[in-house]
């Protein structure tokens, strides 16, 4: 039963992930990405991490993807207006994604023992995650919050109106 659900969810997430890249319309890509995030939230639920699943949906599907949709709908991208890409851009994109793939494979390679381990019953509870975040990983957590804060300040600074020169 659990295995069937797992395979179904995995097939759905792989399919939607592929469709993100393959769809012709930008808005469809974003919607497939939203769907992909929901299936990943389903994986979290199957690992008994309800808190992570809920936060994942709130942050990614609910907030970030809505902003994506916003920007793409505003730009109103369609097939005719697709930007012409020079070969250099294409080549560098391929190299960059290849490097990214290398990093991902390297990180997944070390995770073999994780897949065999049974999910603990209480790993996803808010209390345990809070304890880990504010105890074991306190420094990285605070650093990430500083990073986000500086990004926010930068965005506000860029979005600020230039003070108008006073003319008489």
Partner 1 sequence: MFSLNSIAAFVDAWLNSTFSPATALAFQFIIIGLLAISLFAVLGLVLVLMERKVSAYMQIRLGPNRVGPKGSLQTVADTLKLVSKEGLTPAGADKFLFNLAPFIVMIAAMMLLAPIAFARDFQLWDINIGVLYITSVSSMAVIGILIAGWSSNNKYSLLGAMRSGAQIVSYELSAGLSVITIVLLAGSLSISEIIHSQADGWWIFKGHIPALISFVIFIIAVTAETNRAPFDLAEAESELTAGFHTEYSGMKFALFFLAEYINIFIVCAIGSILFLGGWMPFHIGNWAAFNHIMDYIPSSLWFFGKTFFLIFVIMWFRWTFPRLRIDQLLNLEWKYLLPIGMINLLLAAAVAIGGWHF
Instruction: In angstroms, give the least distance from the CB of 58 to partner 1.
Output: 5
Q: Which token pair is 95?
A: 């190299």
CA dihedral 141, 133, 42, 63 (to 10 degrees): -40
**15 near partner 1, rule: CB under 8 A:** no
Residue with tokens 């304890």, as numbered in its chain:
131
> Which part of the chain contacts partner 1 (CB under 8 A), choosing from 48-56, 83-91, 134-142, 146-154?
48-56
Q: Which token pair is 78?
A: 């369609």
> Which part of the chain contacts partner 1 (CB under 8 A), choosing from 5-13, 14-22, 56-64, 89-97?
56-64
> Which part of the chain contacts partner 1 (CB under 8 A), choosing from 11-19, 23-31, 83-91, 137-145?
23-31
Cα 67 to Cα 61: distance, rounded to the nearest angstrom: 10
Cα 92 to Cα 11: distance, rounded to the nearest angstrom: 30
Among 5, 62, 102, 145, binds partner 1 (CB under 8 A): 62
Among 11, 18, 22, 73, binds partner 1 (CB under 8 A): 73
């Amino acid at each position: 039963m659990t295995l069937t659900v797992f395979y179904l969810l995995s097939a759905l997430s792989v399919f939607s992930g592929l469709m993100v890249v393959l769809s012709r319309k930008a808005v469809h890509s974003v919607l497939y990405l939203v769907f992909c995030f929901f299936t990943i939230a389903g994986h979290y639920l199957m690992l008994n991490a309800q808190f992570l699943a809920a936060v994942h949906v709130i942050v990614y599907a609910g907030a970030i993807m809505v902003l994506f949709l916003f920007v793409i709908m505003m730009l109103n991208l369609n097939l005719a207006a697709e930007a012409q890409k020079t070969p250099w851009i294409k080549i560098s994109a391929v190299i960059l994604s290849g490097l990214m793939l290398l990093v991902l494979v390297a990180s997944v390679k070390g995770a073999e023992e994780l897949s065999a381990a049974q999910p603990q019953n209480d790993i996803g509870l808010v209390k345990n995650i809070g304890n880990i975040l504010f105890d074991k990983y306190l420094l990285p957590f605070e650093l990430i919050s500083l990073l986000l804060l500086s990004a926010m300040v930068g965005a506000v600074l860029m979005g600020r109106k230039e003070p108008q020169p006073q003319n008489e």
